[in-house]
Structure 1
Protein backbone atom coordinates (compact mmCIF):
# COMPACT_ATOMS: atom_id res chain seq x y z
CA UNK A 1 0.00 0.00 0.00
CA UNK A 2 1.44 3.38 -1.01
CA UNK A 3 1.62 6.51 1.14
CA UNK A 4 -1.53 8.22 -0.15
CA UNK A 5 -3.55 5.03 0.46
CA UNK A 6 -2.25 4.76 4.01
CA UNK A 7 -2.93 8.43 4.71
CA UNK A 8 -6.45 8.28 3.24
CA UNK A 9 -7.31 5.13 5.23
CA UNK A 10 -6.06 6.67 8.46
CA UNK A 11 -8.09 9.87 7.92
CA UNK A 12 -11.22 7.91 6.99
CA UNK A 13 -10.79 5.63 9.97
CA UNK A 14 -10.44 8.57 12.36
CA UNK A 15 -13.41 10.45 10.87
CA UNK A 16 -15.55 7.37 10.09
CA UNK A 17 -15.91 8.28 6.39
CA UNK A 18 -17.36 6.10 3.62
CA UNK A 19 -15.71 4.64 0.48
CA UNK A 20 -16.61 7.59 -1.76
CA UNK A 21 -15.05 10.06 0.66
CA UNK A 22 -12.01 7.78 0.91
CA UNK A 23 -11.46 8.05 -2.86
CA UNK A 24 -11.73 11.85 -2.70
CA UNK A 25 -9.21 12.05 0.15
CA UNK A 26 -6.93 9.56 -1.59
CA UNK A 27 -6.93 11.60 -4.79
CA UNK A 28 -6.33 14.81 -2.83
CA UNK A 29 -3.39 13.24 -1.00
CA UNK A 30 -1.95 12.00 -4.30
CA UNK A 31 -2.33 15.46 -5.88
CA UNK A 32 -0.60 17.17 -2.95
CA UNK A 33 2.27 14.69 -3.03
CA UNK A 34 2.65 15.06 -6.81
CA UNK A 35 2.69 18.86 -6.62
CA UNK A 36 5.16 18.78 -3.72
CA UNK A 37 7.46 16.39 -5.61
CA UNK A 38 7.45 18.63 -8.68
CA UNK A 39 8.15 21.80 -6.68
CA UNK A 40 11.01 20.14 -4.78
CA UNK A 41 12.51 18.76 -8.01
CA UNK A 42 12.35 22.16 -9.74
CA UNK A 43 13.81 23.92 -6.68
CA UNK A 44 16.69 21.43 -6.27
CA UNK A 45 17.71 21.34 -9.93
CA UNK A 46 17.11 25.07 -10.25
CA UNK A 47 19.51 25.62 -7.36
CA UNK A 48 22.11 23.39 -9.01
CA UNK A 49 21.87 25.35 -12.27
CA UNK A 50 21.66 28.75 -10.55
CA UNK A 51 18.09 29.53 -11.71
CA UNK A 52 15.94 28.34 -8.80
CA UNK A 53 13.63 31.36 -8.52
CA UNK A 54 13.31 31.74 -12.28
CA UNK A 55 12.53 28.02 -12.71
CA UNK A 56 9.87 28.17 -9.98
CA UNK A 57 8.25 31.16 -11.71
CA UNK A 58 8.14 29.19 -14.97
CA UNK A 59 6.73 26.16 -13.17
CA UNK A 60 3.99 28.07 -11.35
CA UNK A 61 3.09 30.05 -14.48
CA UNK A 62 2.57 26.77 -16.30
CA UNK A 63 0.77 24.84 -13.57
CA UNK A 64 -1.65 27.57 -12.46
CA UNK A 65 -2.89 28.13 -16.01
CA UNK A 66 -3.05 24.35 -16.56
CA UNK A 67 -5.62 23.99 -13.76
CA UNK A 68 -8.29 25.57 -15.96
CA UNK A 69 -6.99 25.34 -19.52
CA UNK A 70 -6.17 21.62 -19.42
CA UNK A 71 -3.82 20.28 -22.07
CA UNK A 72 -1.53 17.31 -22.59
CA UNK A 73 -0.94 15.12 -19.53
CA UNK A 74 1.77 12.58 -18.80
CA UNK A 75 0.57 9.01 -18.26
CA UNK A 76 2.68 8.46 -15.13
CA UNK A 77 3.49 10.74 -12.17
CA UNK A 78 7.22 10.18 -12.64
CA UNK A 79 7.07 11.19 -16.28
CA UNK A 80 5.10 14.30 -15.34
CA UNK A 81 7.75 15.29 -12.78
CA UNK A 82 10.60 14.73 -15.26
CA UNK A 83 8.93 16.72 -18.06
CA UNK A 84 7.87 19.54 -15.72
CA UNK A 85 11.33 19.84 -14.17
CA UNK A 86 13.16 19.69 -17.51
CA UNK A 87 10.88 22.32 -19.06
CA UNK A 88 11.11 24.67 -16.06
CA UNK A 89 14.91 24.47 -15.83
CA UNK A 90 15.37 24.59 -19.60
CA UNK A 91 13.16 27.64 -20.09
CA UNK A 92 14.72 29.43 -17.10
CA UNK A 93 18.22 28.89 -18.52
CA UNK A 94 17.09 29.95 -22.00
CA UNK A 95 15.46 33.13 -20.68
CA UNK A 96 18.53 33.95 -18.62
CA UNK A 97 20.67 33.59 -21.74
CA UNK A 98 18.53 35.56 -24.22
CA UNK A 99 17.88 38.25 -21.61
CA UNK A 100 21.46 39.39 -22.12
CA UNK A 101 20.73 40.23 -25.76
CA UNK A 102 17.35 41.93 -25.38
CA UNK A 103 16.59 45.56 -24.69
CA UNK A 104 13.29 46.88 -23.33
CA UNK A 105 11.83 47.58 -26.76
CA UNK A 106 12.59 44.08 -28.00
CA UNK A 107 11.19 42.57 -24.83
CA UNK A 108 7.96 44.57 -25.20
CA UNK A 109 7.52 43.29 -28.75
CA UNK A 110 8.15 39.69 -27.65
CA UNK A 111 5.73 40.04 -24.73
CA UNK A 112 3.01 41.60 -26.87
CA UNK A 113 3.24 38.76 -29.40
CA UNK A 114 3.33 36.17 -26.60
CA UNK A 115 0.13 37.39 -24.96
CA UNK A 116 -1.68 37.78 -28.29
CA UNK A 117 -0.83 34.15 -29.10
CA UNK A 118 -1.88 33.06 -25.61
CA UNK A 119 -5.29 34.73 -25.77
CA UNK A 120 -5.89 33.37 -29.27
CA UNK A 121 -5.02 29.77 -28.34
CA UNK A 122 -7.06 29.92 -25.13
CA UNK A 123 -10.07 31.18 -27.06
CA UNK A 124 -9.65 28.47 -29.70
CA UNK A 125 -8.77 25.39 -27.63
CA UNK A 126 -9.27 25.87 -23.89
CA UNK A 127 -10.18 23.91 -21.96
CA UNK A 128 -8.63 20.72 -23.34
CA UNK A 129 -9.89 17.71 -21.41
CA UNK A 130 -8.63 14.14 -21.32
CA UNK A 131 -10.14 10.64 -21.52
CA UNK A 132 -9.64 10.26 -17.79
CA UNK A 133 -11.36 13.57 -17.01
CA UNK A 134 -13.79 14.49 -19.79
CA UNK A 135 -15.64 17.81 -19.52
CA UNK A 136 -19.26 16.94 -20.23
CA UNK A 137 -20.90 20.19 -19.18
CA UNK A 138 -20.83 23.13 -21.59
CA UNK A 139 -21.35 25.48 -18.65
CA UNK A 140 -18.23 24.09 -16.97
CA UNK A 141 -16.31 24.40 -20.23
CA UNK A 142 -17.23 28.08 -20.53
CA UNK A 143 -16.36 28.66 -16.88
CA UNK A 144 -12.91 27.08 -17.30
CA UNK A 145 -12.23 29.07 -20.47
CA UNK A 146 -13.19 32.28 -18.68
CA UNK A 147 -10.89 31.48 -15.78
CA UNK A 148 -8.08 30.67 -18.22
CA UNK A 149 -8.49 34.14 -19.70
CA UNK A 150 -8.48 35.68 -16.20
CA UNK A 151 -5.25 33.88 -15.27
CA UNK A 152 -3.55 34.92 -18.52
CA UNK A 153 -4.73 38.49 -17.89
CA UNK A 154 -3.30 38.38 -14.37
CA UNK A 155 0.03 37.32 -15.89
CA UNK A 156 -0.15 40.35 -18.17
CA UNK A 157 -0.86 42.67 -15.22
CA UNK A 158 1.98 41.11 -13.19
CA UNK A 159 4.33 41.55 -16.16
CA UNK A 160 3.40 45.24 -16.36
CA UNK A 161 4.10 45.61 -12.63
CA UNK A 162 7.52 43.96 -13.06
CA UNK A 163 8.22 46.23 -16.04
CA UNK A 164 7.47 49.33 -13.95
CA UNK A 165 9.68 47.99 -11.15
CA UNK A 166 12.46 47.39 -13.67
CA UNK A 167 12.11 50.92 -15.05
CA UNK A 168 12.23 52.34 -11.52
CA UNK A 169 15.02 50.17 -10.03
CA UNK A 170 16.93 49.01 -13.14
CA UNK A 171 17.12 45.64 -11.43
CA UNK A 172 17.58 43.13 -14.26
CA UNK A 173 15.83 40.40 -12.24
CA UNK A 174 12.44 42.04 -12.86
CA UNK A 175 13.25 42.02 -16.56
CA UNK A 176 13.99 38.30 -16.44
CA UNK A 177 10.87 37.53 -14.35
CA UNK A 178 8.66 38.96 -17.11
CA UNK A 179 10.19 36.58 -19.64
CA UNK A 180 9.90 33.66 -17.18
CA UNK A 181 6.17 34.27 -16.79
CA UNK A 182 5.55 34.39 -20.53
CA UNK A 183 7.81 31.35 -21.07
CA UNK A 184 5.79 29.23 -18.65
CA UNK A 185 2.53 30.54 -20.08
CA UNK A 186 3.57 29.79 -23.67
CA UNK A 187 4.62 26.24 -22.82
CA UNK A 188 1.20 25.62 -21.32
CA UNK A 189 -0.45 27.21 -24.36
CA UNK A 190 1.65 24.95 -26.59
CA UNK A 191 0.29 21.90 -24.73
CA UNK A 192 -3.25 22.91 -25.74
CA UNK A 193 -2.56 22.74 -29.46
CA UNK A 194 -2.81 19.60 -31.59
CA UNK A 195 0.93 19.70 -32.37
CA UNK A 196 1.80 20.29 -28.72
CA UNK A 197 -0.30 17.38 -27.52
CA UNK A 198 1.25 15.11 -30.14
CA UNK A 199 4.83 16.11 -29.27
CA UNK A 200 4.28 15.73 -25.53
CA UNK A 201 2.55 12.39 -26.02
CA UNK A 202 5.61 11.06 -27.86
CA UNK A 203 7.94 12.37 -25.14
CA UNK A 204 5.71 10.74 -22.52
CA UNK A 205 5.79 7.41 -24.37
CA UNK A 206 9.58 7.54 -24.58
CA UNK A 207 9.95 8.33 -20.88
CA UNK A 208 7.49 5.58 -19.95
CA UNK A 209 9.53 2.99 -21.88
CA UNK A 210 12.74 4.18 -20.22
CA UNK A 211 11.48 4.64 -16.66
CA UNK A 212 8.95 1.84 -16.32
CA UNK A 213 10.23 -0.98 -18.52
CA UNK A 214 10.19 -4.34 -16.92
Structure 2
Protein backbone atom coordinates (compact mmCIF):
# COMPACT_ATOMS: atom_id res chain seq x y z
CA UNK A 1 0.00 0.00 0.00
CA UNK A 2 1.13 3.48 -0.77
CA UNK A 3 0.44 5.12 2.61
CA UNK A 4 2.57 7.54 4.58
CA UNK A 5 4.11 6.37 7.88
CA UNK A 6 1.33 7.89 10.03
CA UNK A 7 -1.39 6.01 8.14
CA UNK A 8 0.62 2.79 8.32
CA UNK A 9 0.95 3.19 12.11
CA UNK A 10 -2.78 3.82 12.49
CA UNK A 11 -3.62 0.75 10.42
CA UNK A 12 -1.10 -1.40 12.32
CA UNK A 13 -2.55 -0.18 15.64
CA UNK A 14 -6.11 -0.96 14.50
CA UNK A 15 -5.11 -4.46 13.39
CA UNK A 16 -3.22 -5.13 16.62
CA UNK A 17 -6.09 -3.86 18.76
CA UNK A 18 -8.62 -5.96 16.85
CA UNK A 19 -6.49 -9.10 17.11
CA UNK A 20 -6.00 -8.57 20.84
CA UNK A 21 -9.76 -8.14 21.34
CA UNK A 22 -10.44 -11.36 19.43
CA UNK A 23 -7.78 -13.28 21.37
CA UNK A 24 -9.10 -11.93 24.69
CA UNK A 25 -12.65 -12.94 23.79
CA UNK A 26 -11.55 -16.42 22.72
CA UNK A 27 -9.59 -16.84 25.97
CA UNK A 28 -12.63 -15.81 27.99
CA UNK A 29 -14.86 -18.21 26.07
CA UNK A 30 -12.36 -21.03 26.55
CA UNK A 31 -11.94 -20.47 30.30
CA UNK A 32 -15.68 -19.97 30.85
CA UNK A 33 -16.57 -23.10 28.87
CA UNK A 34 -14.08 -25.16 30.89
CA UNK A 35 -15.93 -24.39 34.11
CA UNK A 36 -19.38 -24.15 32.48
CA UNK A 37 -20.12 -20.46 33.16
CA UNK A 38 -20.16 -19.10 29.61
CA UNK A 39 -23.40 -17.11 29.78
CA UNK A 40 -22.70 -15.39 33.08
CA UNK A 41 -19.03 -14.71 32.22
CA UNK A 42 -19.98 -13.16 28.87
CA UNK A 43 -22.65 -10.98 30.48
CA UNK A 44 -20.21 -9.72 33.12
CA UNK A 45 -17.56 -9.10 30.45
CA UNK A 46 -19.89 -7.26 28.08
CA UNK A 47 -21.09 -4.87 30.78
CA UNK A 48 -17.63 -4.44 32.30
CA UNK A 49 -15.91 -3.87 28.96
CA UNK A 50 -18.56 -1.45 27.70
CA UNK A 51 -18.23 0.61 30.87
CA UNK A 52 -14.44 0.47 30.56
CA UNK A 53 -14.59 1.96 27.06
CA UNK A 54 -15.99 5.21 28.47
CA UNK A 55 -14.70 5.21 32.05
CA UNK A 56 -11.07 4.11 31.63
CA UNK A 57 -9.36 2.54 34.59
CA UNK A 58 -6.31 0.63 35.73
CA UNK A 59 -3.88 -0.70 33.13
CA UNK A 60 -1.41 -3.55 33.02
CA UNK A 61 2.09 -3.07 31.66
CA UNK A 62 1.46 -5.33 28.65
CA UNK A 63 -1.58 -6.29 26.56
CA UNK A 64 -0.88 -9.98 27.23
CA UNK A 65 -1.18 -9.51 30.99
CA UNK A 66 -4.41 -7.60 30.46
CA UNK A 67 -5.89 -10.30 28.21
CA UNK A 68 -5.07 -13.18 30.53
CA UNK A 69 -6.14 -11.32 33.66
CA UNK A 70 -9.37 -10.14 32.05
CA UNK A 71 -10.27 -13.61 30.79
CA UNK A 72 -9.56 -15.18 34.18
CA UNK A 73 -11.31 -12.44 36.14
CA UNK A 74 -14.48 -12.38 34.04
CA UNK A 75 -14.59 -16.18 34.23
CA UNK A 76 -14.38 -15.92 38.03
CA UNK A 77 -17.12 -13.28 38.02
CA UNK A 78 -19.25 -15.60 35.87
CA UNK A 79 -18.64 -18.43 38.32
CA UNK A 80 -19.57 -16.22 41.28
CA UNK A 81 -22.70 -14.92 39.54
CA UNK A 82 -23.85 -18.41 38.65
CA UNK A 83 -23.34 -19.66 42.20
CA UNK A 84 -24.87 -16.57 43.79
CA UNK A 85 -28.01 -17.15 41.71
CA UNK A 86 -28.07 -20.93 42.08
CA UNK A 87 -27.83 -20.75 45.87
CA UNK A 88 -29.83 -17.50 46.17
CA UNK A 89 -27.01 -15.75 48.00
CA UNK A 90 -27.61 -12.24 46.66
CA UNK A 91 -30.82 -10.46 47.66
CA UNK A 92 -32.11 -7.83 45.22
CA UNK A 93 -31.10 -4.95 47.47
CA UNK A 94 -27.44 -6.05 47.15
CA UNK A 95 -27.68 -5.68 43.37
CA UNK A 96 -29.08 -2.16 43.74
CA UNK A 97 -26.55 -1.27 46.42
CA UNK A 98 -23.60 -2.40 44.32
CA UNK A 99 -24.92 -0.52 41.29
CA UNK A 100 -25.38 2.57 43.49
CA UNK A 101 -21.77 2.24 44.70
CA UNK A 102 -20.64 1.85 41.10
CA UNK A 103 -22.62 4.93 40.11
CA UNK A 104 -20.99 7.00 42.86
CA UNK A 105 -17.49 5.82 41.91
CA UNK A 106 -18.13 6.52 38.24
CA UNK A 107 -19.71 9.93 38.96
CA UNK A 108 -16.72 11.05 41.02
CA UNK A 109 -13.78 9.38 39.27
CA UNK A 110 -14.60 8.68 35.62
CA UNK A 111 -12.97 9.01 33.27
CA UNK A 112 -9.60 7.73 34.46
CA UNK A 113 -6.86 8.11 31.89
CA UNK A 114 -3.41 6.59 31.76
CA UNK A 115 0.06 7.73 30.85
CA UNK A 116 -0.24 5.92 27.53
CA UNK A 117 -3.70 7.38 26.80
CA UNK A 118 -4.04 10.76 28.52
CA UNK A 119 -7.25 12.76 28.13
CA UNK A 120 -6.32 16.36 27.38
CA UNK A 121 -9.66 17.70 26.20
CA UNK A 122 -12.07 18.97 28.85
CA UNK A 123 -14.91 18.45 26.41
CA UNK A 124 -13.97 14.81 25.86
CA UNK A 125 -13.57 14.32 29.62
CA UNK A 126 -17.13 15.63 30.17
CA UNK A 127 -18.54 13.40 27.42
CA UNK A 128 -16.80 10.33 28.84
CA UNK A 129 -18.06 11.09 32.35
CA UNK A 130 -21.62 11.57 31.09
CA UNK A 131 -21.39 8.36 29.06
CA UNK A 132 -20.05 6.45 32.08
CA UNK A 133 -22.81 7.70 34.38
CA UNK A 134 -25.41 7.11 31.67
CA UNK A 135 -24.19 3.55 31.19
CA UNK A 136 -24.60 2.70 34.87
CA UNK A 137 -28.05 4.31 34.88
CA UNK A 138 -28.99 2.17 31.87
CA UNK A 139 -27.79 -0.88 33.82
CA UNK A 140 -30.16 0.14 36.64
CA UNK A 141 -33.00 0.23 34.12
CA UNK A 142 -32.00 -3.13 32.64
CA UNK A 143 -32.01 -4.55 36.16
CA UNK A 144 -35.45 -3.12 36.84
CA UNK A 145 -37.06 -4.60 33.72
CA UNK A 146 -35.17 -7.89 33.66
CA UNK A 147 -36.61 -10.89 35.44
CA UNK A 148 -33.46 -12.94 34.79
CA UNK A 149 -31.47 -13.11 38.04
CA UNK A 150 -28.37 -14.42 36.22
CA UNK A 151 -28.39 -11.40 33.91
CA UNK A 152 -28.85 -9.01 36.83
CA UNK A 153 -26.14 -10.49 39.04
CA UNK A 154 -23.64 -10.99 36.19
CA UNK A 155 -24.21 -7.44 34.92
CA UNK A 156 -23.85 -6.06 38.42
CA UNK A 157 -20.56 -7.90 39.07
CA UNK A 158 -19.09 -6.77 35.73
CA UNK A 159 -19.99 -3.14 36.40
CA UNK A 160 -18.87 -3.24 40.02
CA UNK A 161 -15.49 -4.73 39.06
CA UNK A 162 -14.94 -2.13 36.35
CA UNK A 163 -15.93 0.75 38.61
CA UNK A 164 -13.46 -0.46 41.24
CA UNK A 165 -10.64 -0.18 38.68
CA UNK A 166 -11.25 3.57 38.73
CA UNK A 167 -10.13 3.89 42.34
CA UNK A 168 -6.81 5.70 42.81
CA UNK A 169 -5.42 2.60 44.50
CA UNK A 170 -5.33 0.87 41.09
CA UNK A 171 -4.04 3.67 38.88
CA UNK A 172 -2.09 6.88 38.88
CA UNK A 173 -4.50 8.98 40.85
CA UNK A 174 -8.00 8.79 39.49
CA UNK A 175 -9.86 10.93 37.03
CA UNK A 176 -11.57 14.19 37.37
Common fold, TM-score beyond 0.5?
yes
- Partner SS, residue 72 of structure 1: coil
Question: Which structure 1 segments of 5+ residues have no match?
Answer: 1-12, 164-173, 199-214
Report the CA distance shift for 1:148/1:101 in structure 2 as closer, same or farther (over 3 A).
Answer: same
> Could you tell me whether the CA contact under 8 Å between 2:57 and 2:111 is conserved in 1?
yes
Alignment-derived partner of residue 49 in structure 1: 35
Alignment-derived partner of residue 138 in structure 1: 122
Alignment-derived partner of residue 159 in structure 2: 185
1:153 pairs, out of 137, 151, 159, with: 137
2:5 pairs, out of 8, 19, 31, with: 19
Alignment-derived partner of residue 168 in structure 2: 194
Whichever structure has more helix as a proportion of its residues is 1
CA distance in 2 between counterparts of 1:34 and 1:107 reads 37
Alignment-derived partner of residue 5 in structure 1: none
CA distance in 2 between counterparts of 1:24 and 1:162 reads 40
CA distance in 1 between counterparts of 2:17 and 2:143 reads 29
- Alignment coverage as a number of residue pairs: 172
1:38 Cα deviation after fit: 0.8
CA distance in 1 between counterparts of 2:67 and 2:81 reads 21
Alignment-derived partner of residue 58 in structure 1: 44
Runs of 4+ in 1 over 4 A off after TM superposition: none
> Could you tell me whether the CA contact under 8 Å between 2:96 and 2:140 is conserved in 1?
no
Question: Which structure 2 segments of 5+ residues have no match?
Answer: none
The structure with higher relative contact order (CA 8 Å, sep 6+) is 2
Q: In the TM superposition, what whole-angstrom CA distance separates every residue of 1:153-206 from its partner, at most 9, and x where no partner exists?
A: 22222222322xxxxxxxxxx2111100010001100100023448xxxxxxxx
1:124 Cα deviation after fit: 0.9
1:17 Cα deviation after fit: 2.1
Q: Provide the TM-score with structure 1 as the length reference.
A: 0.76
User: What is the CA RMSD across the aligned residues, in angstroms?
Assistant: 1.5
